[in-house]
Structure 1
């Protein structure tokens, strides 16, 4: 039995698609089952509710061979660290009570960076908490998601620009969510691995935001440039969109850690996944731009 959390989310849905045709029994935890397609509802067992609920995860983890664990982001959380840990503690209880064999967590590169890293630090704490259960665990560690740029399609379309708090010249390791899903699916279907370790999921390109702008311009055949936003202005803008001050500050601190090279050590040693940034722009960003 494989259990998938966030099956309607960006990553969870792709993972579910990748294991859909396997012979494994699949169970999903979902707040609103109506968001699952009829095809999926016919294939999987559904446990309705939130996976921060001890009753829900206890029921869902019964007889589980492997669990895909992802804490959904919540920009209205008043304390990101508490949010991640409080979300994960019920799962840790259910891991032990239900005898879960293996767990795969969606985390981040930079676990051993050594200084606070904004919204990345709660993911590292999540890994540490899960490991205390002694479950066989693989933390999938990723850098900058290419899909982050999908939130800026309107800015690219209307202003010919995209915006972040990061330095325009500092190169970031990147990855595409479909490659994350492929790696996660292989681990979910592989019953042979044991112990606790991490798996870096890093695409072939290390790019600065200015590099990204040049490639986007090439693919879209129009001039696009990157604009770094001062931290205070970026934070204020995010709060205007409804983020809590703590979550917005977490974004700022994460960008600062990225500029300081939090991904560098692990990304340089990682085996690279196949999706290049230009391929992602052609196959994902451009269709979204044209839609």
Structure 2
């Protein structure tokens, strides 16, 4: 079969590509910068170089594919990232109709089910709606992966963690599903390879456990050897820090909005639980970075 993968250098996409190659497939990679690929990968894949925001390119790059893994190429520097998400999804939806793509796996997020009020996650909700409409027209198998909080997000606050603080605007006692992107990739790759499912489906990816912020801080402390404590900050404090990092007001509000409290639509179950622990991820990835 021919399986197309977007963002093959991303936190999830890179793992999806490796898993497909290890399964004996030759994936077609949709990407803008082929020079960023591991040279050892070049002989194992086909490249379709272009911009996901170009509808004509997406239609051509997905012609003849049996399955597609789609990750929206976030760009928080744009004036309206949510509108960009919807416009980009329109190109994919047209490609689904034109090429009759049998299976599409979309990397979404918990909170997308709210359809509003969740910052940049609202853009993912718009994509879901666009793809749902295309699926209704084509009968494709469509899966929305509603992912939990990426462990890799911690790498964006190394200074704070080095100073011993795990900051959040959420209630410290609010449990969160923490997930390793590698586990998201495993779920995605399994669905891309399987022909045994149909219709519109939602699959949560919750990681191995829901952790409160003090529990997460304790796991990180043990794994890294750095004493880390959870601290709740106000949304205004978060805005100040984001502005200090040079982010635009659009980006600031989008990120703050994503920090709003919400409960995952799907309860934790055998199907939504994945194995990689926060402590294990931190030993491998966060400890060397600190």
Partner SS for 1:3: strand
Could you list the structure 1 runs, at least 4 aligned residues long, displaced by more than 4 angstroms after superposition: none
1:142 aligns with: 147
In structure 2, stretches of 5+ residues that fail to align are: none
CA contact (8 A) 2:143 2:203 kept: yes
Moved more, 18-27 or 128-137: 18-27
CA contact (8 A) 1:79 1:247 kept: no
Partner SS for 2:202: strand
1:268 aligns with: 268
2:250 aligns with: 246
Taking the aligned partners of 2:121 and 2:143, their CA distance within structure 1 comes to: 17
Moved more, 30-39 or 244-253: 244-253
Q: Does residue 1:216 correspond to 2:220, yes or no?
A: yes
TM-score by length of 2: 0.92
Q: How does 1:39-78 map to 2 (within 5 A)?
A: 39-78=40-79
Count of equivalent residues: 284
2:175 aligns with: 171
Taking the aligned partners of 1:253 and 1:114, their CA distance within structure 2 comes to: 13
In structure 1, stretches of 5+ residues that fail to align are: none
CA contact (8 A) 1:202 1:267 kept: no
CA contact (8 A) 2:31 2:47 kept: yes
Question: What is the deviation of 1:114?
Answer: 6.2
Taking the aligned partners of 2:169 and 2:205, their CA distance within structure 1 comes to: 23
TM-score by length of 1: 0.91
1:84 aligns with: 85
Question: What's the C-alpha RMSD, in Å, of the aligned pairs?
Answer: 1.8
Cα shift readout 1:232-262 (whole Å, capped 9, x = no counterpart): 2212321332322122112212212xx2x33
Taking the aligned partners of 1:228 and 1:83, their CA distance within structure 2 comes to: 32
Q: How does 1:191-230 map to 2 (within 5 A)?
A: 191-230=195-234
Q: Does residue 1:152 correspond to 2:186, yes or no?
A: no
